Amino acid sequence: MSFTWIVANRYLRSKRRTGFISLITWLSTGGVALGVGALVIVLSIMNGFEEEVRSRIIGADAPLRVSTFSGHSTLDWPQVAETIAGLDKVEAVTPYVLDKGMIRAGKYTEGCIIRGVDPRTVGAVNRLPEMLVAGSMDDLDPHDPDSLGGIILGRYLADILYIDLGDTLFLISPTGMSSIFSQPKIGQFVVTGVFESGLAEFDQAFVIIGLHQAQRMFGLGAQVSGLDVKTKTLEDAATVKDEINETIGYPWYPRTWYEMRKTLFSWMQLEKWAMFIVLSLIILVAAFNIVSTLVMITMEKRKEVGILMAMGATQKNIQRIFLWQGLFVGLVGTIVGLILGFVILWAQQTWKFISLPSDIYMIAALPVRMHVLDFTAVGVVGVLLCLLAAVYPARRAAALDPVEAIRYE
């Protein structure tokens, strides 16, 4: 052990007559620990909510969407889908039709987003079949042309319209109307299912019908609005997008899950950084306590510092003594805070003792996702702030005149 560390360790353990300084030292350490622990807990909770929202959005949608600039594909979309499915990082591809319309059930009418899907392949791309809380997808595209097509509604939209399984309703599409004298297209459907994704933008607005039913209703013939693509991982979506641009190109236009909702995820990332900065102020407050502690130690150890300098200790040695003290408080407080935060987060992941009302948040417990990078960043910030807090007391101690310090001793 170095000379400066030994002296710093002795200075941290104040004499009994001035034990107040030791108390402040441990309070400063506790403040750093609480700040670090609070910061990693909040960041992990925000990670949990972000991943929960992301999984629900992608579960109801797709990691990658490929459409055309015109909004409707060309007739060669089956060949394009086959080409995309052959890429290394692609697991499944399914066509879709997407347009706006109105839904009428009895005396109730609401605006909606109509989505046509292929019941045979949609489950390979997203988790729509798993989101059904009632009914099934079997009758979306009936084999009998005289039978009514099936329709699946979001839970909240079904509540607004006061409908249940087996009820008949009408979809109204203004697509293709060229003048005020044109008649909108109207389709009659029977309710075969209700889904719940946990996201209002889906559950309050989307209705699902069969792909062929949607093509007939919107007058698309054999065309579709685009292709939903499932990649092996979410990170592969950007790579697959570049491959599609290189192999297929215009007029196909691929967009990743992040690009389709860039505003939402950018806002969540900005909020995370804001919380990181704000909660770092807790550690900064503890760092100011370290400044006051070391200044008081400097005043208490004035004679000892003077003696050390008279015996040959340099100003750098004195600075290192007080920097070691600040570093010690920062390291101990940061390590304790990280351990405290990890234990609380692990307990929440294991036992879920903090529950949430599922009818409001759509999740039963507070979500938690611990990332190594967050723990590392918080640890580095905690130690650096404490080390910087020790710079002023260290310079002040090193600037003492040894003759003045021991003149009257």
Cross-strand pairs, 67: 226, 253
- Assess whether 224 and 99 both reside in one domain: yes
- Assess whether 104 and 195 both reside in one domain: yes
| pLDDT (tens digit per residue) in 241-297 | 999 988 887 888 899 988 888 888 888 888 888 888 888 888 888 888 888 877 877
Domain containing 345: what range?
3-57+264-406
Cα separation, 263 vs 348, in Å, equals: 30
- Is position 259 within any domain? no
Lowest-confidence pick of 47-61, 84-98, 214-228: 47-61
Q: What is the pLDDT of residue 16?
A: 47
| pLDDT (tens digit per residue) in 193-226 | 999 888 777 888 899 999 988 888 888 888 888 8
- Assess whether 380 and 330 both reside in one domain: yes
Cα separation, 251 vs 80, in Å, equals: 11
- Assess whether 79 and 227 both reside in one domain: yes
Distances from the Cα of 356 to the Cαs of 39, 71, 181, 360, in angstroms? 21, 41, 52, 8
Q: Is the pTM of this model over 0.85?
A: no
- Assess whether 286 and 376 both reside in one domain: yes
The DSSP H or E segment spanning 153 is strand 149-154
- Is position 239 within any domain? no
Closest by alpha carbon to 129, among 69, 83, 194? 194
Phi, psi of 199, rounded to the nearest 5 degrees: -115, 130
- Assess whether 23 and 95 both reside in one domain: no
- Is position 388 within any domain? yes
State mean pLDDT over 58-72.
81
Count of domains for the chain? 2
Distances from the Cα of 367 to the Cαs of 21, 270, 272, in angstroms? 41, 19, 15
- Assess whether 49 and 118 both reside in one domain: no
- Assess whether 80 and 193 both reside in one domain: yes
- Is position 250 within any domain? no
- Assess whether 268 and 295 both reside in one domain: yes
Cross-strand pairs, 230: 92
State mean pLDDT over 20-46.
85
- Assess whether 278 and 357 both reside in one domain: yes
State mean pLDDT over 340-364.
83
Q: Which runs of consecutive H residues, i.e. helices, occur in 15-96? A: 19-60, 77-85
Q: What is the pLDDT of residue 306?
A: 76
Closest by alpha carbon to 104, among 171, 165, 50, 154? 171
Cross-strand pairs, 154: 195
What's the angle, vertex CA 399, arms to CA 398 and CA 402, rounded to 5? 90
- Assess whether 389 and 317 both reside in one domain: yes
Q: Is residue 326 pLDDT above 90, yes or no?
A: no
The rounded mean pLDDT for the chain is: 84
Closest by alpha carbon to 28, among 253, 336, 242? 336
Q: What is the pLDDT of residue 335?
A: 95
- Assess whether 51 and 70 both reside in one domain: no
Closest by alpha carbon to 295, among 7, 11, 4? 11
What's the angle, vertex CA 129, arms to CA 128 and CA 134, rounded to 5? 110
